[in-house]
């Protein structure tokens, strides 16, 4: 199966305010897709629709050939780290073990197989040394790696990441994105961000969302599209090849 | 301390203190980490309506509080999930209406209601043995529910949306957590009264939170702190003839201040 997520003619309104209008998007097997757009442009709404957390007012979404609520088991979702309480009393290991739940059922206790899996994924994001650390004592970049590990613990077929804010330190940032590039060898990765500069250097495809989605199944965005999404600010375009 | 235990009412008081501390340690930890203090307070005050109805019907007030506080918890939870009104508005509404229902039914009941004050501010020294059995039963059921749903509860409190994506029925589970708080309120009403329930749900867990990054240890520590504070408060209230519930709270408050002042690692 080539298409993982198919979004067809999807619109969504909060009351009378339409935040997404007639969006079409296919996420394919090897994609490393960045969805960019200004704040309030509907990025988080689109993400929630794909995850089955919101129902589209119009249109149709399939996730791995199923409804989003069924298909989201296959998605490793990495929410914004801002959504977490830094002081939550939990260890890195226990965060990652949460990721085993979808396959094993939420009432099941943790098995040794589950534990070994958490060790594997922590190793793959280079955080095994921190397994027993409290989450609250890690840097933001490290926390984000742990959340990726949690998503990977469920053996996902797609990684979906909301606003990666991998710290301001450029070295940490480039480490972080090379990790995503590495993961992308096996599964499609989708990033959602308002910060075009950060993600454009790494992703292989870009879509622009501001109520409507501009996407040509490629990294190129036409200047016209870009103007529609971001208004008149051409300076961002330096980051891109022109179509 | 030992000479106190020869009185049966004192034995009952200490047993009740232990039960309360166990419930507070476990449920209070969730209340503190998920920031449910205000909603717990709303449920506790709304429960006063159940006390009034219990008096009016002439049944054990505990039997009046249990359904009433469960319904308040579910009412606040369901209405806010449907987005008909925001959660903090609902808390205010249930808080005020619940207490008013209580006042009306108590007014309708003929004669003087001598135990009323004890339900508002607690009277641990008059806990009857029969109530202890009810409390133990409720306490065990609360602990069993927490044990069964421990991992999904933690995932939900940690971050709701990703928990939902993990397949956890967050909406229902949140209502279950609110119901557990309601049952905890019922258990604690006898000890410190409705007005001060919130202190025992909050203070031991907040103190414990400062010393550990592990939720299970936080619960155990909160239980120990709760037992320490209630025993200390009971002893002082007996020694100096002070109101027992209020003394327990003041002792807990002092313990909290000390915990803030004493430096700790990490």
Amino acid A242: pLDDT? 42
What is the pLDDT confidence band of residue B263, given thresholds at 50, 70 and 90? Answer: confident
Q: What is the CB neighbour count within 10 angstroms for residue B6?
A: 8
What is the pLDDT confidence band of residue A238, given thresholds at 50, 70 and 90? Answer: very low
Residues of B with Cβ-Cβ distance to A75 under 8 angstroms: 165
Interface test with B, best of A89, A104, A107, A153 (most B CBs within 10 A): A89
pLDDT of residue A203 exceeding 80, the answer is yes
Best CA proximity match to B29, nearest among B148, B192, B142, B170: B142
Give mean pLDDT, residues A59-74: 93
Q: What is the CB neighbour count within 10 angstroms for residue A38?
A: 16
Amino acid B113: pLDDT? 64
Amino acid A176: pLDDT? 79
Q: What is the CB neighbour count within 10 angstroms for residue B115?
A: 12
Q: Are B73 and B182 in contact (CB under 8 A)?
A: yes
ipTM of the complex: 0.85
Q: Is residue A37 helix, strand or coil?
A: coil
Q: Are A8 and A59 in contact (CB under 8 A)?
A: yes
Instruction: Read off the tokens for B131.
Output: 């109530």
pLDDT of residue B3 exceeding 70, the answer is yes
Buried b (16+ CB within 10 A) or exposed e, B205-238: bbbbbeebbebeebbbbbbebbbbbbbbbbbbbb
CB contact under 8 A, A98 and B165: no
pLDDT of residue A205 exceeding 60, the answer is yes
CB contact under 8 A, B159 and A83: yes
Distance from CA of B166 to the nearest CA of A (A): 5
pLDDT digits (tens, 9 = 90+) for A84-102: 788 899 999 999 999 887 6
Assess if CATH 1.10.3470.10 describes domain B2-258.
yes
Share of chain A above pLDDT 90, in %: 43
Strand pairing category for A75-78 and A58-63: unpaired
Amino acid B7: pLDDT? 85
Distance from CA of B119 to the nearest CA of A (A): 34
What is the pLDDT confidence band of residue A202, given thresholds at 50, 70 and 90? Answer: confident
Output the CA–CA distances (angstroms, integers) from residue B104 to A192, B56, B111, B121, B246, in the order listed.
Answer: 55, 10, 14, 19, 26
DSSP chain B: -GGGGGSHHHHHHHHHHHHHHHHHHHHHHHHHHTT-HHHHHHHHHHTHHHHHHHHHHTS-HHHHHHHHHHHHHHHHHHHHHTTSS-HHHHHHHHHHHHHHHHHHHHHHSSS--TTHHHHHH--GGG--HHHHHHHHHHHHHHHHHHHHTHHHHHHHHH-HHHHHHTT--HHHHHHHHHHHHHHHHHHHHHHHHHHHHHHHHHHHHHHHHTT-S-HHHHHHHHHHHHHHHHHHHHHHHHHHT--HHHHHHHHHHHHHHHHHHS----
Amino acid A52: pLDDT? 94
Output the CA–CA distances (angstroms, integers) from residue A216 to A2, A220, A225, in the order listed.
Answer: 17, 7, 10
Amino acid A193: pLDDT? 85
Amino acid A240: pLDDT? 47
pLDDT of residue B253 exceeding 80, the answer is yes
Lowest mean pLDDT among A28-37, A190-199, B214-223: A190-199
Lowest mean pLDDT among A18-27, A208-217, B40-49, B169-178: A208-217
Higher confidence at residue A214 or residue A241? A214
Separation of alpha carbons A8 and A49, rounded Å: 12
Give mean pLDDT, residues B232-256: 92
Q: Are B256 and B207 in contact (CB under 8 A)?
A: yes
* Facing B152 at nearest CB: one of A53, A84, A106: A106
Residues of A with Cβ-Cβ distance to B210 under 8 angstroms: none
| Domain that residue A232 falls in | 3-239
Separation of alpha carbons A122 and A127, rounded Å: 5
Amino acid B194: pLDDT? 81
Q: Which residues partner with A205 through β-bridges? A: A33
Separation of alpha carbons A233 and B2, rounded Å: 79
Lowest mean pLDDT among A100-114, B61-75, B121-135: A100-114
Separation of alpha carbons B73 and B90, rounded Å: 10
Give mean pLDDT, residues B15-43: 94
What is the pLDDT confidence band of residue A219, given thresholds at 50, 70 and 90? Answer: confident
Name the residue in chain A with its Cα closest to that of B166: A102
CB contact under 8 A, A89 and B213: yes
Strand pairing category for A75-78 and A158-162: parallel
pLDDT of residue B60 exceeding 50, the answer is yes
Residues of B with Cβ-Cβ distance to A73 under 8 angstroms: 167
Amino acid A236: pLDDT? 46
Instruction: Locate the domains of chain B by residue range.
Output: 2-258
Backbone phi and psi for residue A233, each to the nearest 5 degrees, phi listed first: -80, 95
Amino acid A105: pLDDT? 65
Amino acid A41: pLDDT? 86
| Beta-carbon pairs below 8 A across chains A and B | 77
B111 contacts: CB under 8 Å, gap ≥ 6: none
Chain B contact for A99 (CB, 8 A cutoff): yes
Q: Is residue A210 helix, strand or coil?
A: strand
Output the CA–CA distances (angstroms, integers) from residue B18 to A89, A176, B127, in the order listed.
Answer: 24, 49, 13
pLDDT digits (tens, 9 = 90+) for B195-205: 778 889 999 99
A40 contacts: CB under 8 Å, gap ≥ 6: A19
Amino acid A234: pLDDT? 42
- DSSP 8-state assignment for residue A110: P
Which residue's entry shows tokens 């135990």?
A: B115
Summary mean pLDDT of chain B: 90
* Facing A88 at nearest CB: one of B33, B166, B266: B33
Share of chain B above pLDDT 70, in %: 96
Output the CA–CA distances (angstroms, integers) from residue B115 to B118, B121, B169, in the order listed.
Answer: 5, 10, 41
Summary mean pLDDT of chain A: 84
Residues of A with Cβ-Cβ distance to B33 under 8 angstroms: 85, 88-89
CA A70, chain centre distance (Å): 18
Q: Are A179 and A189 in contact (CB under 8 A)?
A: no
Buried b (16+ CB within 10 A) or exposed e, B170-191: beebbbbbbbbbbbbbbbbbbb
Residues of B with Cβ-Cβ distance to A99 under 8 angstroms: 166
What is the pLDDT confidence band of residue A169, given thresholds at 50, 70 and 90? Answer: low
Separation of alpha carbons A134 and A117, rounded Å: 20
pLDDT digits (tens, 9 = 90+) for B81-129: 998 899 999 999 999 999 999 989 988 888 766 566 767 777 788 888 8
Q: Are A142 and A74 in contact (CB under 8 A)?
A: no
Lowest mean pLDDT among A28-42, B108-122, B153-167: B108-122
Amino acid B147: pLDDT? 94
> Domain with A56 in it: what CATH number?
3.40.50.300
Give me the number of domains chain A comprises. Answer: 1
């Amino acid at each position: 199966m080539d298409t993982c997520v198919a979004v067809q003619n999807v619109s969504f309104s909060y009351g009378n305010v339409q935040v997404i209008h007639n969006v079409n998007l296919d996420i394919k097997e090897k994609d490393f897709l960045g969805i960019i757009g200004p704040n309030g442009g509907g990025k988080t709404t689109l993400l929630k629709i794909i995850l089955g957390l919101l129902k589209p007012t119009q249109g149709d979404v399939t996730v791995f050939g199923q409804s989003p609520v069924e298909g989201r088991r296959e998605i490793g979702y990495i929410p914004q780290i801002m959504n977490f309480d830094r002081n939550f009393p939990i260890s890195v290991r226990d965060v990652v073990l949460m990721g085993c739940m979808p396959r094993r059922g939420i009432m099941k206790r943790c098995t040794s197989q589950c534990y070994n899996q958490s060790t594997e994924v922590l190793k793959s994001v280079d955080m095994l040394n921190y397994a027993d650390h409290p989450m609250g004592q890690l840097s933001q970049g490290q926390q984000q790696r742990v959340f990726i590990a949690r998503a990977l613990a469920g053996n996902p077929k797609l990684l979906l990441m909301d606003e990666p804010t991998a710290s301001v330190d450029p070295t940490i940032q480039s480490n972080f994105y090379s990790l995503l590039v590495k993961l992308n060898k096996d599964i499609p990765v989708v990033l959602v961000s308002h910060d075009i500069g950060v993600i454009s250097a790494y992703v292989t495809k870009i879509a622009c969302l501001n109520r409507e989605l501009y996407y040509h199944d490629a990294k190129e965005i036409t200047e016209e599209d870009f103007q529609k999404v971001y208004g008149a600010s051409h300076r961002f375009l330096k980051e891109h090849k022109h179509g | 301390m030992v000479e106190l235990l020869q009185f049966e009412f004192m034995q009952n008081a200490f047993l009740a203190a232990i039960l309360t501390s166990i419930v507070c340690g476990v449920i209070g930890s969730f209340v503190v980490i998920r920031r449910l203090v205000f909603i717990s307070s709303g449920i506790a005050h709304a429960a006063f309506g159940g006390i009034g109805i219990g008096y009016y019907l002439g049944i054990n007030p505990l039997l009046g509080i249990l359904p009433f506080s469960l319904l308040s918890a579910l009412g606040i939870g369901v209405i806010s999930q449907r987005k008909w009104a925001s959660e903090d508005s609902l808390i205010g509404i249930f808080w005020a209406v619940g207490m008013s229902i209580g006042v009306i039914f108590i007014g309708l009941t003929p004669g003087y209601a001598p135990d009323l004050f004890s339900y508002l501010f607690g009277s641990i020294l008059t806990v009857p043995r029969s109530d202890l059995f009810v409390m133990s039963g409720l306490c065990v059921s609360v602990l069993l529910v927490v044990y069964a749903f421990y991992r999904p509860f933690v995932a939900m409190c940690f971050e709701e949306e990703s928990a939902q994506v993990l397949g956890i029925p967050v909406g229902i589970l949140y209502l279950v957590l609110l119901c557990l708080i309601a049952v905890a309120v019922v258990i604690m009403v006898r000890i410190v009264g409705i007005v001060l329930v919130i202190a025992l749900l909050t203070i031991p867990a907040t103190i414990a939170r400062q010393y550990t990054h592990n939720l299970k240890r936080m619960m155990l520590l909160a239980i120990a702190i709760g037992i320490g504070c209630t025993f200390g408060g009971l002893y002082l209230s007996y020694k100096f003839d002070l109101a027992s519930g209020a003394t327990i709270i003041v002792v807990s408050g002092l313990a909290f201040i000390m915990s803030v002042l004493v430096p700790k690692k990490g």
